[in-house]
Amino acid sequence: MARPLVECVPNFSEGRNLEIIEAVADAIRKTSGVKLLDVDAGTSTNRTVYTFVGPPDAVVEAVISAAAVAKSKIDMTKHKGEHPRLGAMDVCPIIPVRDVTVEDCIACANKIASALATQLSIPIYLYGSAASLDYRRTVPQIRAGEYEGLKDKITTQQWKPDYGPAAWVPEWGATMVGVRNFLIAYNVNLLATKEQAHRIALNVRESGRGPNAPGRLQAVQGLGWWLDEANMAQVSLNLLDYKITPIHIAYEEVCKDAKELNIGVIGSEIVGLIPLDSILEAAEFYIKKDNLFVLEEDQKVTLVLSRLGLKDFDPKKRIIEYCLEDSNSDNSLIKLTAEKFVLSVGARTAAPGGGSVSAYVAALGAGLCTMVGLLTYGKKQWESLDSITRKIIPLFHKKMMELLLIVDADTNAFNDYMKALKLPKTTEKEVEIYESEIEKGLLRAINVPLNLAETINSSWPIMKNLAAISNIQTASDLQVGAKCLETGVLGAHYNVMINLKLLKNENIKEKLTNKTKDHVIVAEKRCREVLDVIRTRI
C-alpha cells in the first residue's frame, strides 16, 4: 500500500549565501523518510524555497531540523530582499499529497508549531486551514507590516502568537505555519520597469487595488518587482487554487495587459513544483485554441513549456508526480515490465489473477485500436479521413489509460477482501463487523470487473467506425484488438460470477448476475459486428 504523504514548502529568508542554503537543504536531506525534491534560491528576493515530501511525522522532524540550522545561521537584522517577509523561516505550508486528510495536515502543522516554539523559542502564527482566527487566515494578513513592523505588532493582544513568546526576537522575527491546497508560485518575465510590472499585477490579482477596485483573477495574489541579476521585471503571482485560476489563464491575462502597454513578454518561470494535471489542463487549452492534434503526455508537456516560455523547466524535476516516481515502491502492476508482470501472474499467489489479466488484455486491445488510428492518421492516402481519426484516436487512447488503471484496481480490491477475511470474530460485535466488511469487500471485488466490462463495451461503437475507415493494412491488428476487448469482458464476467456465489444479499446477487450476463451478450455481438466490417474490406 502507498505511504501517506504530505508536501512541505518552507520559505527561508536567505537566497544569496550558498553555504547557508546548502546547510538548510542538508538538514532536510538527512531526515529519514523525507525526499527533498527542489531547492529554488533567488538572489534579488533573498529567499529560498525548499520542497520536500514524506510521511507527516518525518516532515515534522525535517522542518524542526531545518529551522534549527536557520536559527544558528540567519540574522534577520541584516536581511534585505525584494520579497515580503516576516521571519527567517517565513512561511511553512503543509499540503496533503496522498492518503492524508486536511485534518491530518492541521495536526502536523500544530506539531511543528509547538516544537519550534518549545525548542527554538520563536513566535509562530497558524494560517490557512490551521488558522485559529479569521483575521489570521491568509499570509498577507499576518505579514502586514512585515518584519520591521512586527516589533510593535507582536506585543499587542490582537497579534499574540499561537505558539511561542509574544516578544520581539530580532534575529528571527516570526514564522507562519499553515495548511493549504497546492499553491503554484508563478512569475511572468517582462522587458519593463518594476512599476509597469506591478501595475499589471494589480490588474490581475484578486485584491486588485483595494475593495473598490478588485482584479480580474480569483484566488491569485501578485506583485511586480525588478530582478537585478536578470535585468528584467517580473509579475510574481501566487495561484492559491489552480483549479479556479489555471496557470495558462494567468499567463494569458498578463500577456494581454503587457500587449496593451507595449511591453515585451519573455517567458515565465515556476518556483518549486507543479502538479501534472495543471500542465495537462494548459495543454488542452492550447490544443483547442490552435486546433492541434497532440496525443502523448510528454508531447503535451512540451507544448506547454513552449507556449508559456518555460525555458529552464525540467519536467522530471519540477512536476511533482514525476519527482515521486521511483522503483515502483508502491508495487503497481502497470509499472512492471511485461516480463515481470507475466512472472508475477505465474507466481504461487492468488493475485494478480484473472481480473487483472482481463484488464491488461483489454488495455492491449485498446492500445491496438489506438495504433490503428495513428497508422491511418496523417498519411496522404487517408488524408480525407483526418478529421474523423482525430476524434477517434484520443477516445481509444483514453480508454487504454482507463483500462490500465483497472489492472491495479482489481488486485487492490482482492487484497482488501483478503484483509477483511482476517478480521477477528470472537465476540458478537466482532462477528457483526466481520460479516459487514466481508460483504463490502465482495461488492468492491465485483464492482471492479463490472466497471471493466462497462468501460470495454462503451468502446464498440467507436471501434466499428474505425473498422470501416482504417488503413486496411492494419486489419489484422484491429481483429486482434477486437478479440482482446471481448476477452476482457468475458474475464470480467467470470470474476463477477465467482464472487457473486459468496454474496448473501439475494436481491443484489440476482441484479448483478443479470447485469454481467448482459455485458457478455453485448460484447459478443459487438465484436462480431466489428469483425464483419473488417471482413467485408479485406
- pLDDT (tens digit per residue) in 109-125: 999 999 999 999 999 99
Q: Is the pLDDT of residue 331 over 90?
A: no
Cell numbers that stand for 370 in this block: 489506438
Instruction: Taking residues 336-359, report their average pLDDT.
Output: 92
Tens of pLDDT, residues 453-463: 999 999 999 99
Helices (H), 155-225: 194-204
Q: Is the pLDDT of residue 333 over 90?
A: no
Among the listed residues 27, 32, 34, the one whose alpha carbon sits nearest the alpha carbon of residue 8 = 34
333-536: CATH architecture: Up-down Bundle (1.20)
Which CATH superfamily is 5-179 part of? Formiminotransferase, N-terminal subdomain (3.30.990.10)
Q: Is the separation of the CB atoms in 164 and 117 below 8 Å? A: yes
Amino acid identity of residue 476, one-letter, is S
**1 pLDDT tier (thresholds 50, 70, 90):** very low
Q: Is the pLDDT of residue 466 over 50?
A: yes
Burial of 30 (0-12, 13-18, 19+ CB in 10 A): exposed
Q: Is the pLDDT of residue 415 over 90?
A: no
Beta-strand pair 264-271/11-12: unpaired
pLDDT recorded at residue 330: 55
- Number of separate helices (H) and strands (E) present in the chain: 18, 11
Q: Is the pLDDT of residue 327 over 90?
A: no
**326 pLDDT tier (thresholds 50, 70, 90):** low
Among the listed residues 292, 312, 316, 314, the one whose alpha carbon sits nearest the alpha carbon of residue 303 = 292
pLDDT recorded at residue 99: 82
Looking up cell 502568537 gives 161
pLDDT recorded at residue 323: 81
pTM, rounded to two decimals = 0.73
Q: Is the separation of the CB atoms in 481 and 463 below 8 Å? A: yes
% residues pLDDT > 90 (the chain): 80
Task: Return the SS3 of 8.
Answer: strand
pLDDT recorded at residue 430: 87
CATH no. of 184-326: 3.30.70.670
**418 pLDDT tier (thresholds 50, 70, 90):** confident
Range in 229-238, 240-249, 318-327, 346-355 the model is least confident about: 318-327
List, in order, residues 6 or more apart from 226 with CB less than 8 Å away.
44, 82, 193, 194, 197, 232, 233, 234
Are 184-326 and 333-536 equal in CATH topology? Answer: no
- 354-374 helix and 428-457 helix, angle to the nearest 10 degrees: 20
Active site (catalytic) residues: 83, 410
Q: Is the separation of the CB atoms in 302 and 319 below 8 Å? A: no
Instruction: Taking residues 405-429, report their average pLDDT.
Output: 88
Q: Is the separation of the CB atoms in 178 and 127 below 8 Å? A: yes
Alpha carbon distances (Å) from 414 to 40, 431, 519:
43, 21, 22
What's the whole-number average pLDDT of the chain?
93
Q: Is the pLDDT of residue 380 over 90?
A: no
Instruction: Taking residues 384-396, report their average pLDDT.
Output: 92
DSSP 33: T
pLDDT recorded at residue 381: 85
How far is 431 from 453, CA to CA, in rounded Å? 33
pLDDT recorded at residue 2: 56
Among the listed residues 362, 360, 357, 383, the one whose alpha carbon sits nearest the alpha carbon of residue 460 = 362
How large is the greatest C-alpha to C-alpha distance in the chain, in angstroms?
86
pLDDT recorded at residue 196: 97
Beta strand ranges found along 279-406 (DSSP E): none
Tens of pLDDT, residues 262-283: 999 999 999 888 889 999 999 9
**204 pLDDT tier (thresholds 50, 70, 90):** very high
How far is 382 from 126, CA to CA, in rounded Å? 62
- Half-sphere exposure of residue 463, counting CA atoms within 13 Å on the CB side? 35
Where along the chain do its domains lie?
5-179, 184-326, 333-536
Amino acid identity of residue 132, one-letter, is S
Instruction: Taking residues 34-61, report their average pLDDT.
Output: 93
Cell numbers that stand for 444 in this block: 468492491
Q: Is the separation of the CB atoms in 114 and 90 below 8 Å? A: no
Q: Is the pLDDT of residue 324 over 80?
A: no
How far is 132 from 119, CA to CA, in rounded Å? 22
Whether omega before 123 lies within 30 degrees of 0, making that bond cis, reads no
pLDDT recorded at residue 234: 97
Compare 97 and 376 and report the one with higher pLDDT: 376
How far is 52 from 326, CA to CA, in rounded Å? 15
Q: Is the pLDDT of residue 136 over 70?
A: yes
Backbone φ and ψ for 326, nearest 5 degrees, come out as -140, -155
Q: Is the separation of the CB atoms in 102 and 179 below 8 Å? A: yes
Among the listed residues 218, 278, 292, 214, the one whose alpha carbon sits nearest the alpha carbon of residue 247 = 278
